[in-house]
Structure 1
Amino acid sequence: MNNQEQNMKFMQIAMKHLPEGKKILDDKGIELNMDDLQPMLELLLNVMSEAYELGKEESMENKS
């Protein structure tokens, strides 16, 4: 899987959970639109990518 495909899959996961995160913010009185959420989505994608790479490295170490 190339980086672009991986990012698309991560974005699908993030979008699936976005309504839950938006509800938490709304319940706290924090109003954000999609433009406001974009930097947080990018941060989340970076975290997911690093976690994926860590899991991949650990998987390779366990196979050795």
Structure 2
Amino acid sequence: MNMKFMQIAMKYLPEGKKMLDEKGIELNMEDLQPMLELFMNVMAEAYELGKQDATK
């Protein structure tokens, strides 16, 4: 599942990077890594909530 989450993150990464660039915030991939890890944690928790809800 983590691989699917990473694919989703990479799909939207250019859009997010563009938003940051427009605000004058420069980040490289090394800077974005902690945010990607946070995204993965959020997605995993959301997945588990959905899974629990589906089994009820």
Report the TM-score when normalising by structure 1: 0.86
Structure number with the bigger relative contact order (C-alpha 8 A, sep ≥ 6) is: 2
The residue aligned with 2:8 is 13
The Cα shift of 1:37 comes to 0.1
Larger Rg: 1
**1:28 lines up with 2:29 in the alignment:** no
Moved over 2 A (4+): none
SS of residue paired to 1:30: coil
Unaligned 5+ segments in structure 1 are 1-5
Return the letter of the residue paired with 1:17: Y
In the alignment, structure 2 segments of 5+ residues that lack a partner are none
| CA–CA separation in structure 2 for the residues paired with 1:51 and 1:8 | 15
2:32 to 31, 37, 59: 37
Aligned length: 56
What is the RMSD of the two structures over their aligned residues, measured on CA atoms? Answer: 0.3
Q: Percent identity?
A: 77
CA–CA separation in structure 1 for the residues paired with 2:6 and 2:33 = 11
